[in-house]
Amino acid sequence: MIAVNEKWLELADVKDELAVRDWFMGTSGNLAIKVADEPLEFLVTASGKDKKKRTDEDFLLVDGNGQPIIERFLTPSAETLLHCAIYKKTNAGCSLHVHTVANNVISELYGDAGKIDFQGQELIKAFGLWEEDAVLTIPIIANHADIPTLTREFESTISADKGAVLIRNHGITVWGKNSFEAKKLLEACEFLFQYQLALQLQLK
Residue 130's pLDDT is 95
pLDDT of 29 above 80: yes
Report pLDDT digits (tens) over 145-192: 999 999 999 999 999 999 999 999 999 999 999 999 999 999 999 999
CA atoms within a 13 Å half-sphere pointing along the CA-CB vector of 148: 1
Report pLDDT digits (tens) over 50-59: 999 999 999 9
What value, to the nearest 5°, has the Cα angle with vertex 152 and ends 178 and 109?
Answer: 80
Report pLDDT digits (tens) over 37-72: 999 999 999 999 999 999 999 999 999 999 999 867
Percent of the chain with pLDDT over 90: 92
Looking at domain 1-203, its CATH class is alpha beta
170 is in an annotated binding site: no
Q: What is the spatial distance between Cα 182 and Cα 170, in angstroms, rounded to a whole number?
A: 19
83 is in an annotated binding site: no
Residue 71's pLDDT is 65
Tell me if residue 110 falls in helix, strand or coil. coil
Residue pair 61/151 in contact by the 8 Å Cβ criterion: no
pLDDT of 1 above 80: no
Residue 72's pLDDT is 72
CA distances from 82 to 53, 70, 128 (A): 24, 20, 23
Residue pair 31/45 in contact by the 8 Å Cβ criterion: yes
